[in-house]
Structure 1
Amino acid sequence: MASSSPLLASFQCHSSLNITIKPMAVLNNLPKTAIQYDLRKGQNRLFHKLPSGLKMEVIEQRKEKDESENPPLVFVHGSYHAAWCWAEHWLPFFSSSGFDSYAISLLGQGESDEPLGVVAGTLETHASDIADFIESNLSSSPPVLIGHSFGGLIVQYYLANIVNKQSLGSENAFPELSGAVLVCSVPPSGNSGLVLRYLFSKPVAAFKVTLSLAAKRFQTSIPLCRETFFSSSMDDQLVQRYQDLMKESSRMPLFDLRKLNASLPVPKPMENSTKVLVLGAKDDFIVDDEGLMETGRFYDVEPVCIQGVAHDMMLDCSWEKGAKVLLQWLSGLSKPGNLSA
């Protein structure tokens, strides 16, 4: 593992850019996971200190091209994942395309600290942690916030709580965004509708999903792990690699699902606010077509469904399909500072 000084130097050497960077701690203690993700070339593992004193893992990869007009990208994982799931393919892809990219491990996941209690947090606490990271490190350049699965639901809560500080004078507002992307996201009403539809229309699939996720059998069965998250063509060796990382990623459940579902649906964001891309996978074993359409209707956008990829589209065999669609959408965004929909 690299010593702390090169990491800090790497993080601070970009101070000339129009981005306010608050120094973060580097990993200088024993890893929290038995199998730690090996960073790729150009990536750094840093820590953002939250107001609570807890530290949140951030894997960052800075852009290879000097294109300052591009907004930074902040990636949020879902259940049983951590920052590493974005670092495998999408961070290298988007950094090489001119975007500073940051993948966060939510509390209790990956190398992030664990809060007190039996679950990692709530929609509000997770979104507040992300807002604190953005406010502390990216305040001068509103990012695009990208969430996968339950991470997408956290992004939706964030969207519902964005307030323009200058116009409303709120000190507790979530920082504005240049855009938001929901990747195979749990819909605004939560996962209860998904479960009910599976029970009535696909009972065998419902049993498998429950066995895989609720009973965590995906952690011990390679076929079930593949069917839940990946395409059928992914080979056993790669599935097992990701399976091992997933087993280590989530040391605490992200939410108390009963309390979560009781708090849903998420509120509607303000009209004419942040631009939203709803991105789904045709072979998604978890989020069905109706779940994807529900999310699109909620944000009044037409969802984009990628053929030939499964739920973990950022890790799947054809990961570049979703990345290219997202890159095309990003190219159509207004420059940072112009947040009109």
Structure 2
Amino acid sequence: MTNIVFIHGLWVAHTSWEPWITYFAEHGHHAIAPAWPGELPTVEETRHHASAQAGFGIDELTAHYARVLEQFDTPPVVIGHSFGGLIAQKLLGENKAAAAVAIDPAPVKGVKPLPLTQLRSALPVLGNPLNRGRATALTPSQWRYGFGNALSSAESDALWEQWSIPSPGKPLFEAATANFAPHSPARVDTANATRGPLLITGGTADHTVPLVSTKAAHRLYRDSEAVTDFHEFDGRGHSLTIDHGWRDVADETLAWLARRGVVEVA
């Protein structure tokens, strides 16, 4: 049995990983999906107490999940989506995880492409500097552009209703200015040669983290002798971990973990 920790990103509740937890358990693995600091147990509660998440940045989030990993006897696998993928890379680079899967991860320091779709997806937060210290939510139309653009409007709206929550703006501001900050919290030790294997994925239709950004992140690891793989999900948007095709992503994740000898095939 392999221990796995799921880490969600901005605007999606930690409970969105519940289907993954069940699916991974069916394959013989033990998985958990801890909430972000300030996030409450349910979507409804988190929506009604948005300010509880305000002010938490990348360093605080990484430290929070590092404490979670320390509870295991041996380092677990971390699987993160979006900003969860950035945090997963940081934890792996610090040798606190056995392996990591970064699904359409938020850009780490050194990723230079900034497509217009990515900028437009972030504009609801970055457009107001005061949002750095706030927790904000996406409207259904903003969610549709950033997450559900590869889905029907009906499915996008349903996912917004089921899983969307307010999230802190600070991580987005930190990532946006990472290449101008010498000690940016978005920095990852991409040269670490002793870490476990890493898989980075990109969706070809992703507006929030476009494929060019995930490919640029993968290239940052070229000087490391550790395993760094890349997988492209054709036609998939940023909702790929929660929409109707999530099992395809889960299956590829499990298959990669098995190929790299991280887990045993159930």
TM-score, scaled relative to structure 2: 0.76
Give the whole-Å Cα distance in 1 for the aligned partners of 2:165 and 2:53: 19
Note the residue ranges of structure 2 that are not aligned, 5 or more in a row.
Answer: 223-227
Instruction: State whether structure 2 residue 223 is matched by structure 1 residue 298.
Output: no
Q: CA deviation at 1:304?
A: 0.5
Look up the match of 2:27. 97
Residue in structure 1 matching 2:138, options 211, 219, 226: 219
Give the whole-Å Cα distance in 2 for the aligned partners of 1:306 and 1:232: 12
> Residue type matched to 1:186 in 2?
A
Residue in structure 1 matching 2:67, options 102, 119, 132: 132
Contact residue 38 and residue 52 of structure 2 kept, 8 A? no
> Residue type matched to 1:131 in 2?
A
For the residue of structure 2 that corresponds to 1:147, the secondary structure is: strand
Give the whole-Å Cα distance in 2 for the aligned partners of 1:210 and 1:131: 27
Q: CA deviation at 1:299?
A: 2.6
For the residue of structure 2 that corresponds to 1:248, the secondary structure is: coil
Q: CA deviation at 1:142?
A: 2.5
Which aligned pairs between 1:161-176 and structure 2 lie closer than 5 A? Answer: 161-162=94-95, 175=96
Contact residue 7 and residue 85 of structure 2 kept, 8 A? yes
Classify 1:286/1:190 alpha carbon distance in 2 versus 1 (closer, same or farther; 3 Å).
Answer: farther
Look up the match of 2:225. none
For the residue of structure 2 that corresponds to 1:180, the secondary structure is: strand
Contact residue 83 and residue 104 of structure 1 kept, 8 A? yes
Instruction: State whether structure 2 residue 128 is matched by structure 1 residue 209.
Output: no
Look up the match of 1:228. 146
Which aligned pairs between 1:134-213 and structure 2 lie closer than 5 A? Answer: 134-136=69-71, 138-139=72-73, 141-162=74-95, 175=96, 177-189=97-109, 193-195=112-114, 197-198=115-116, 205=117, 208-212=120-124
Q: Which has the higher contact order (CA 8 A, sep 6+)?
A: 2
Give the whole-Å Cα distance in 2 for the aligned partners of 1:207 and 1:280: 17
Larger radius of gyration: 1
Contact residue 147 and residue 182 of structure 1 kept, 8 A? yes
Give the whole-Å Cα distance in 2 for the aligned partners of 1:91 and 1:117: 24
> Residue type matched to 2:106 in 1?
V
Look up the match of 1:74. 5
> Residue type matched to 1:188 in 2?
V
Look up the match of 2:260. 333
TM-score, scaled relative to structure 1: 0.61
Larger proportion of helix:
2
Task: Provide, for residues 188-240 of structure 1, a one-character-per-residue CA deviation record: whole Å limited to 9, x for no partner.
Answer: 2277x443x32xxxxxx467424455469973334x4223112543352x433
Q: CA deviation at 1:184?
A: 0.1
Give the whole-Å Cα distance in 1 for the aligned partners of 2:204 and 2:253: 16
Classify 1:232/1:158 alpha carbon distance in 2 versus 1 (closer, same or farther; 3 Å).
Answer: closer
RMSD: 3.1
Residue in structure 2 matching 1:108, options 28, 33, 38: 38
Residue in structure 1 matching 2:247, options 304, 309, 320: 320
Look up the match of 1:307. 234
Instruction: State whether structure 2 residue 177 is matched by structure 1 residue 242.
Output: no
For the residue of structure 2 that corresponds to 1:94, the secondary structure is: helix
For the residue of structure 1 that corresponds to 2:171, the secondary structure is: coil
> Residue type matched to 1:272 in 2?
T
Classify 1:207/1:286 alpha carbon distance in 2 versus 1 (closer, same or farther; 3 Å).
Answer: closer
For the residue of structure 1 that corresponds to 2:219, the secondary structure is: helix
Contact residue 206 and residue 237 of structure 2 kept, 8 A? yes
> Residue type matched to 1:239 in 2?
S
Look up the match of 2:171. 255
Q: CA deviation at 1:271?
A: 0.7
Note the residue ranges of structure 1 that are not aligned, 5 or more in a row.
Answer: 1-67, 163-174, 199-204, 337-341
Contact residue 127 and residue 157 of structure 1 kept, 8 A? yes
